[in-house]
Structure 1
Amino acid sequence: MPARHEPKLPHASEFRPFIPVRDDPLVAGLHEHSARSFAEARLSHPVMAEVARQWREIAREPFVGITADGHPRHGVYDLGPVAAAERAPLTEMLHAVEGIIKHTTPEQWQQLTYPLDSSRWRTWSNPEVLLFDNGLRLEEVSEETCEVLLGLVRATLSAEGYKAVRHLMRLNGFLGELIDMPGVMNPRSYHFALFGDPSADQAWGWHLYGHHVCVNALVAGDRMAIGPVFLGAEPDCTDVGPDAGVRPLEPRERLGLAFIRSLGPQQLAVARVYHDVRDPKLPEGRLHPADERHLGGAFQDNRVIPYEGLCAADMTDEQQGHLLAVLDEFSSLLPAGPRAARLREVRAQLAETYLTWIGGVDDEQPFYYRVQSPVVVAEFDHHAGMWLTNPDPARFHTHTLLRLPNGHDYGRLLWGADA
C-alpha cells in the first residue's frame, strides 16, 4: 500500500531556473505587445489560425453537454425547492449589479450585456491569446469600474473562492513580470460579461475569463450553478512579496494525493490507468498539445468522456471520505449554502463516481486525476512549461477544471433554453 503521509510541498522558487532569458525566442520581442496586438500576431500564424477556426466552429454546435456515452442523462440533478439556509446570495448579487449600472456608461453597459441564450456563454478560453472579445476587458476600464465589476464576482462566490480567484489573477500578473509581457498578462487582463436580465425571478449570470482564470456563474431565484470553471497557474506561487509561498491550488493537489494514497494495491492498479503523465502507452490523441491530459477544457462542451478507473462503490468509507473531500474542494467557489446543496447532490451519485489517475503518487512526480460522476467532472493536471521553459510537466504549473455534465454547464438546467 502506498505510504500514508502528508505530501511534501514544493519550494516556492523551484520555477526560477526555468525563467526564459530576454533573448529567448519564446519571449523575444514580445514585451511591447498589448493583448490585442499579441492576439493579432498569434492568430496570423497558420497553425494558430486553424486552431482558432476549429474552436469557433465547435462553439457554433448546438449545446448538448459533456456525457459519458453521447447521451445526456436526465433527472440526475436536484432542481427542487431550496431550503432557506442553502439559497443563492441573490440579494447581494443584485446589489452588486446596481453598482455596475451606476459606474458604467450606457455604451459600456451595452457592451457588457448579452441575452441569456447568447452563444457567447460558450466562448470562454484560458490561453493568453484573445480569441473572443466578450463584454468589458478589465484593464481597459477605470480602476473604479473594474472594482464594481469584480464586486459581482465577490457577491456571488464564497469568500474563500473569491480570494483564490483574485490570487490567481495576481499570479498571472507575476508571470507577466517574470517574462516581461505585462501588456499581455497582468492582474486585469480578463474579460467580464453579463448574460440575461439581472432580476429576482429570472435566470441570469456572468462569466469572467482570461489566462488561467475562467468562471461561469448563473443564478435563478434561490438556486445557482457555477461551471465550467478553469483555475490554473504558472508558476503556482510567487516567491516574493506578501503572497510569497501561497499556493491557492495546493489543496486540490494535497487532497488528491491523500485520496490515491489511501487505496490498497489492487484498487490502485485499477485507478492508476497510466504510470507516467507522458506514458508511451497513452493512446493516440489522448495527450493534447495545449490541454495535455485535460478532457473538459475550453470548447469541449459536448465532449464524450467515458468512465474509467476505480468506482466509489468499490471503496471503503474512509476512501469515499477522501473522494468527497476532493469534490468539496472543487466546489469551494460556491457560497456555504449552495455548496452544501451541491455536496448532497454529489453524494447521491456516489455509487457511479469514478477516480482516474495518471502519473506518480509520490512527492516528486507530476500527475493527473479525474473524478467523474453523472453530476461532476473534476480534473487536476500538472503541465509542462508554456511560458516557463521546463520541457516536462512540473508540480509548479497546475491546471484544474470543473464541469457540470449531462447538460448543466452554464446552469443550463435552471433556464432550459437552447443556445
Structure 2
Amino acid sequence: MRIGMVTACYKPVVNGVTRMVSLYKERLTALGHDVTVFTLGEPDPAGDEAGVVRSPGIPLGETGYYLGFRYRQEAQARLRQMDILHCHHLMMSVELAYRYGQCPIVYTNHTRYDLYTGAYTPLPQQTADAIMRQIWPELTDLCDVVIAPSASLRDVMASFGVRRPIAVIENGVELALFRQPPRPLRREDLGLPDGPVLIFVGRLAEEKNISTLLRQFAIARESSPAASLLIIGDGPQRAHLQEEARALGLVEAVHFAGTIPYAAIPNYLAAADLFVTASVSEVHPLTVIEAMAAGLPVVAVASPGIAETVVSGVSGLLTQYAEGGLAVGMSTLMLDAEKRRQMGRSAQEASRRFDIDRTVRRTLDLYDDVRRQYHDSPRQRNRRNWQTQIEQLGQLLHPAPPRHHGERHDGG
C-alpha cells in the first residue's frame, strides 16, 4: 500500500507527534508498505531520511512548526499517487491532503486544540471554544475517518461537533527499547545523590505546567531532602524554569538535562525511581507510556488522557488537583521503596497493551476498511478554497463577525 503521512512538522523537531509519525513510517515500511512523509519547512541538518518530501513554510517561532498553504509540485504529484493519506495535524495537514490527494483521508487528532487555543491566543476560553466548534467539525469533514488516541478525546471532539466517524486507537511505543535500555545509567553516572530520583520528560512549554511541578516537588522534598528531579527536554520556558528552581532553593536538586536523543531516553529512565508530570492537556502521552514500559510508577494529575493510561493505586498515584495533590503523591512514593517497586512492576505489565506493533496493526485494519468504503461509495467532495485556513488562523487572533449564510467558497 502507498501510504502518505501528512504532518505540519517532522524530524529534527522533537515532540510526540513527530515520534508517532516516525514510528508509523518505520513499522509500516518494515511490513512492506511504501510510506512517504509530506511535511513543511527546512530539511533535517543531519540529512533527511528516504521518503520525506518537504515544501516551503514559514517557521512559527521556536515551536518547530511551519505555516504553509501550498505544496510544491513534487509533493503534489506524489500525493496523487498515494492509496491512503494519514494526516496528523488539523491545520497545515488535513486541508492540504484534501486539496491535492485523490484517495481516502484518515486523520489522527493528537492535540487538545480546545485547550491550546485558549492558552496560546489572546482570547477568552469561551471565545476560543466557539471558534473550535466551527473549525474542528469543518476540517474533519474533509476526512473519511478520525482517529482519537483515547476515548476521552473522542468524547471531547464529539462535544465540539465533529461529525465524522471516530475510531479509538491508542498511541504505541517500542516496548523492548524501554524494558531493556541499551546502556542504562545509574545515579552516580548523572552526578545525582543517593536518594529518590524523579524524572520528567517533555517539552519545556507552558502547556506542560512545569512551574507547578517544581513547586510541588519543593514541598515533597521536605520529607525526602536527598530527592532529585531530572528534567529531560527543552523549550521556550527553560530559562524561566531554571530561575524558578533557583528561587525555590532547588538549584542542587533539579537537573535540567536538555534535549536527549530519543534512543538514549530509556537509559535515563533507568536511573529514575518514578515519573512525574503536572500536565493537564495530554491526549495519550507517549512519555507516560514509555516510563511505564521502563518500570516506573507515575505520579500525575488525573486529566483524561493520563487517567485512561495510569490506574491510581496500581500503576501510579493520580490526583484531581495539581496543587497539593502532586506533592502528596511524590512524598508517598519517595518514602516507600517497596510500593514504588510494586507499582513499577504493575506499570510495566500495563504498558503491554501500548505496543507500537499492535497500534500499527489496528491502523492498517482501519486503512483497509476506509479504502473499501471509499471505493464502494466514493464521497462527493465539495471543492473548498485553500485560503480558508488563512482566514481561520486570522480569526484566532482577530475574531470577526460570523459570515452570512449566503456566502460561498468556490474554486480550488
Interval containing the TM-score (normalised by the shorter chain): under 0.3
Report which structure shows greater RCO (CA 8 Å, sep ≥6).
1
Q: What TM-score does the superposition give when structure 1 sets the normalisation length?
A: 0.27
Larger CA Rg, structure 1 vs 2: 2
Length-normalised TM-score, structure 2: 0.27
- The structure with the largest helix share of the pair is 2
